[in-house]
A and B are shown apart, each in its own frame.
Chain A
């Protein structure tokens, strides 16, 4: 087991910068997820950790040991690949035992460790099969078995469950988390699926265009995104954004839009006043942070229903406020119909205001 330190790491491909000045520290035994859309540099980061790409600049250390120049075989890591990368000409047993055999383990040790790993993953009955005879989920398990059998000091997972169907994916999320907790091995898990990151990781590193955006616990990332990009990327359905002006109305700061003016809370006002804020901001609020009732009048924001999408346990409502559209998540017993007037109540305690130029969050 080891901690992982990524220290001012850069990765260039020719002139393209894939990873820009990345700094991360992953504690021993931690489940760290690197989250971002494709092309954000997360895979490059993982591959540099594995030794499958050279590190263009900076250092990576496992514990105190600098591993920049170590080939993968000397790093004592195990990796699960997006496409499983099983060896098609070998049986499941040979696939799993491969790393042990390459390291010259004795026959008895191999037998015992393969048994242990396959029992954990419940694939004992597949040992004699070849990869092409396995289903996607089974291949996945074999790939994981190949990683855990060696008891490495670090697991690297590269979107390991991206190609499974939705149901199996949900199941594997739970299993992976349990497995990691049981083994206690440090794990770095790359994914573009925020649900995977939020549900499994101890901490999440959100990356975008090669730059680390935010590094924190899932709750921190969800509740306090540091900028507009993170706020928009994390959360499903995505956050609503509206351009607003901050105006002082009767001594209270309001977020003002042609269609509404909503006062900020006291603590938010303090932040805004402290931070030499600009008048032009962008307001962001998650669909479940907006209350909706049908009918006119009252002091809430007036809106019109464009579309209702019942999802069984929830109901999504598209509501128009002037020229803007808000997505609202409510209960399925909501009675509004397309075209009805309605009122929206923003949960101002949990909304966010961002600097319109830099995208950075005031709160």
Chain B
């Protein structure tokens, strides 16, 4: 089934007729980037109003809690916002101008980039390796279920557990690393040179399985006959992986990277629990800095300006992501191939 967006699951399979499936496939083959499959005959005037009314409540609620705050955000970024009762004061772009000489703001972006890059390399590497191993392994179901468990955990709780494990006086992982001679007397989170790594490890622990699952879904769609044709053509397993498997799972990798990248922007729960941005601001990635400015120092105006920069980058990433989402390859089901 080649529906462009969302949903799916086998549960609905029975509902989707073969005809609808064919239609979608057709759209896919023709390479049209269709955002929806809408029966043309539905676009007759009398019935449209009905559908708009059904749509309205959600749109209104969503506008209230996202669009309105967005304009509010822009407003705030241009004013001195007082947490007390005083009215907001126009400040001639002072919030924005300040960003230009705010070292912590620039460092925040740089650290965010570093953090994301480290997470990406580790998680994609491990995730792909794991997926390749799991694919077709005898214990695939069981192992996948085990790997799902960290993902279900609240990131804060995960952070707390790791905080406990990392602790330099009673943490078991600290003891383990010291005993193995990896770490000296230092505490991993207490040292600016290793704190970031400590957080990356927690993030990797919790979210590598997601990448594994995405890649695994991709691996199931690699057409068997292409692999076999390449084998007959003379390829061994390793060449087969790079020549056939990798190009086929490429959209899945892209989706995994983009999703994780955006999650690194979205969530800072791990950092808040583990280091709070320290030591010596070595883990103060931009969202963490934004959190501090807004909710520790309550400089909501400056926070708004920082938030807007973060939002802008996210929207660009989002646009790319939506493109990739709609690429036909990721949308075919395993049976199609």
Direct contact between the two chains A and B in their complex (CB within 8 A): yes
Interface residues of A (CB under 8 A from B): 50-52, 71-73, 77-79, 81-83, 85-89, 98-99, 102-103, 132, 146, 150
Expressed in whole angstroms, the Cα–Cα distance for A74 and B244 within the complex equals 19
Q: CB distance A73 to B236 under 8 Å?
A: yes
**B335 interface residue (CB < 8 Å to A):** no
**Interfacial chain A residues near B223, Cβ < 8 Å:** 83, 85
Within 8 A of A (CB), among B226-243: 226, 228-236, 239, 243
CB of A357, distance to nearest CB on chain B (Å): 42
**Interfacial chain A residues near B31, Cβ < 8 Å:** 132
Expressed in whole angstroms, the Cα–Cα distance for A78 and B61 within the complex equals 62
**Interfacial chain A residues near B334, Cβ < 8 Å:** none
**Interfacial chain B residues near A51, Cβ < 8 Å:** 231-232
Q: CB distance B230 to A77 under 8 Å?
A: no
With A83-B225, A85-B223, A85-B226 known as contacts, the answer to whether A52 contacts B231 (CB < 8 A) is yes
Q: CB distance B229 to A73 under 8 Å?
A: no
**B21 interface residue (CB < 8 Å to A):** no
Q: Which of B228, B234, B239 contacts A81 (CB 8 A)?
A: B228
Q: Which of B228, B234, B247 contacts A85 (CB 8 A)?
A: B228
Q: CB distance A50 to B232 under 8 Å?
A: yes
Residue of B nearest to A89 (CB): B247
Flag B25-40 by CB within 8 Å of A: 1 or 0 each. Answer: 0000101000000000
Describe A's contact surface by its main secondary structure: loop
With A85-B223, A102-B239 known as contacts, the answer to whether A52 contacts B228 (CB < 8 A) is yes
**Can you name 18 A-B residue pairings with CB atoms under 8 Å?**
A50-B228, A50-B232, A52-B228, A52-B232, A72-B228, A73-B235, A73-B236, A78-B232, A81-B229, A83-B223, A87-B226, A87-B243, A87-B244, A88-B226, A102-B230, A102-B235, A103-B234, A150-B233
**Interfacial chain A residues near B236, Cβ < 8 Å:** 71, 73
Q: CB distance B234 to A99 under 8 Å?
A: yes
**Interfacial chain B residues near A73, Cβ < 8 Å:** 231-236
**Interfacial chain B residues near A103, Cβ < 8 Å:** 234
Residue of B nearest to A147 (CB): B232
Which of A73, A98, A103, A146 has the most chain B CB within a 10 Å cutoff? Answer: A73
Expressed in whole angstroms, the Cα–Cα distance for A77 and B236 within the complex equals 15
Q: CB distance B233 to A85 under 8 Å?
A: no
Expressed in whole angstroms, the Cα–Cα distance for A256 and B79 within the complex equals 107
Q: CB distance B229 to A79 under 8 Å?
A: yes
Q: Which of A78, A88, A98, A132 contacts B230 (CB 8 A)?
A: A98
With A85-B225, A85-B226, A89-B247 known as contacts, the answer to whether A79 contacts B235 (CB < 8 A) is no
CB of A218, distance to nearest CB on chain B (Å): 28
**Interfacial chain B residues near A82, Cβ < 8 Å:** 225
Expressed in whole angstroms, the Cα–Cα distance for A146 and B229 within the complex equals 10
Q: CB distance A102 to B228 under 8 Å?
A: no
Q: CB distance A79 to B232 under 8 Å?
A: yes
Expressed in whole angstroms, the Cα–Cα distance for A51 and B227 within the complex equals 13
Expressed in whole angstroms, the Cα–Cα distance for A208 and B228 within the complex equals 25
Count of interface residues, chain B, beta-carbon cutoff 8 Å: 19
Flag B282-317 by CB within 8 Å of A: 1 or 0 each. Answer: 000000000000000000000000000000000000
Q: How many A-B residue pairs have CB under 8 A?
A: 62
Q: CB distance A99 to B233 under 8 Å?
A: yes
Top 4 nearest A-B pairs by Cβ distance? A85-B225, A99-B233, A102-B234, A85-B229
Q: CB distance B230 to A87 under 8 Å?
A: yes
Q: Which of A71, A88, A98 contacts B233 (CB 8 A)?
A: A98
**Interfacial chain A residues near B230, Cβ < 8 Å:** 87, 98, 102
Flag B259-299 by CB within 8 Å of A: 1 or 0 each. Answer: 00000000000000000000000000000000000000000
**Interfacial chain A residues near B232, Cβ < 8 Å:** 50-52, 72-73, 77-79, 99
CB of A341, distance to nearest CB on chain B (Å): 46
**Interfacial chain A residues near B233, Cβ < 8 Å:** 73, 78, 98-99, 102, 146, 150
Q: CB distance B225 to A71 under 8 Å?
A: no
**Interfacial chain B residues near A72, Cβ < 8 Å:** 228, 231-232
**Interfacial chain B residues near A50, Cβ < 8 Å:** 228, 232
CB of A100, distance to nearest CB on chain B (Å): 9
**Interfacial chain B residues near A85, Cβ < 8 Å:** 223, 225-226, 228-229
**Interfacial chain A residues near B244, Cβ < 8 Å:** 87
**Interfacial chain A residues near B243, Cβ < 8 Å:** 87
Q: CB distance B247 to A81 under 8 Å?
A: no
**Interfacial chain A residues near B225, Cβ < 8 Å:** 81-83, 85
CB of B48, distance to nearest CB on chain A (Å): 36
Beyond A86-B229, A102-B239, 10 extra complex contacts between A and B, CB < 8 Å: A51-B231, A73-B234, A73-B236, A79-B232, A83-B225, A85-B223, A86-B226, A102-B230, A132-B31, A150-B233
CB of B175, distance to nearest CB on chain A (Å): 48
Which of A52, A78, A79, A85 has the most chain B CB within a 10 Å cutoff? Answer: A85
CB of B30, distance to nearest CB on chain A (Å): 10
Residue of B nearest to A74 (CB): B234
Expressed in whole angstroms, the Cα–Cα distance for A85 and B223 within the complex equals 8
**Interfacial chain B residues near A86, Cβ < 8 Å:** 226, 229
CB of B312, distance to nearest CB on chain A (Å): 33
**Interfacial chain B residues near A52, Cβ < 8 Å:** 228, 231-232
Q: CB distance A71 to B231 under 8 Å?
A: yes
Expressed in whole angstroms, the Cα–Cα distance for A78 and B232 within the complex equals 6
**Interfacial chain B residues near A99, Cβ < 8 Å:** 232-234
Expressed in whole angstroms, the Cα–Cα distance for A82 and B229 within the complex equals 11
Expressed in whole angstroms, the Cα–Cα distance for A85 and B231 within the complex equals 12
CB of A72, distance to nearest CB on chain B (Å): 4
Expressed in whole angstroms, the Cα–Cα distance for A87 and B31 within the complex equals 17
CB of B46, distance to nearest CB on chain A (Å): 40
Within 8 A of A (CB), among B194-244: 223, 225-226, 228-236, 239, 243-244
CB of A93, distance to nearest CB on chain B (Å): 14
CB of A174, distance to nearest CB on chain B (Å): 25
Expressed in whole angstroms, the Cα–Cα distance for A96 and B228 within the complex equals 15
Expressed in whole angstroms, the Cα–Cα distance for A228 and B226 within the complex equals 39
Expressed in whole angstroms, the Cα–Cα distance for A85 and B337 within the complex equals 10
Expressed in whole angstroms, the Cα–Cα distance for A72 and B229 within the complex equals 9
